[in-house]
Amino acid sequence: MRPLVAQRLLAVGHDPDARLFTGPRGGRITTAVLRDATHWDEVVAEFGYEHLRRHSLRHTGLTWMADAGIPLHVLRMIAGHGSLRTTQRYLHPDLRALHAAGTSLSAHLRSASVPSKPLAATLQAL
């Protein structure tokens, strides 16, 4: 893959508006072109995943990148979203991530110091 990308980078030069990859007519790669070029419908049917949509892979890829620690503002740029809110809708933490968050909260609460006054007195003092 790297040689292909390197070759395309040389071909487009320093034009910041140039597309790295283009469709058969030189424009954007449409979803129809992508579906046909990858034989998507046949592949997912062969594996028994007819319900799988290509767009689902975008959600999965962005979620994996977030799980790897890539900051949200960088994910927004990668996805080409206009807002962080849109990018956040693409992220789907798995059960392990949710369990780890609960474990972290429990550990934090166990290590926190207990106030010397009862909670009601502490709140009234605020």
Summarize pLDDT for 57-69 with one digit per residue, the tens.
899 999 999 989 9
pLDDT at 71: 95
Q: Please state, in angstroms and rounded to a whole number, the distance separating the CA atoms of residues 47 and 26.
A: 32
Global confidence as pTM: 0.56
Of 47, 87, 92, the closest CA to residue 71 belongs to 87
Residue 13 is classified by DSSP as T
Q: Please state, in angstroms and rounded to a whole number, the distance separating the CA atoms of residues 91 and 18.
A: 29
Residue 115 is classified by DSSP as P
Looking at residue 103, its amino acid is T
Domain ranges in the chain are 1-49, 53-95
Residue 39 is classified by DSSP as T
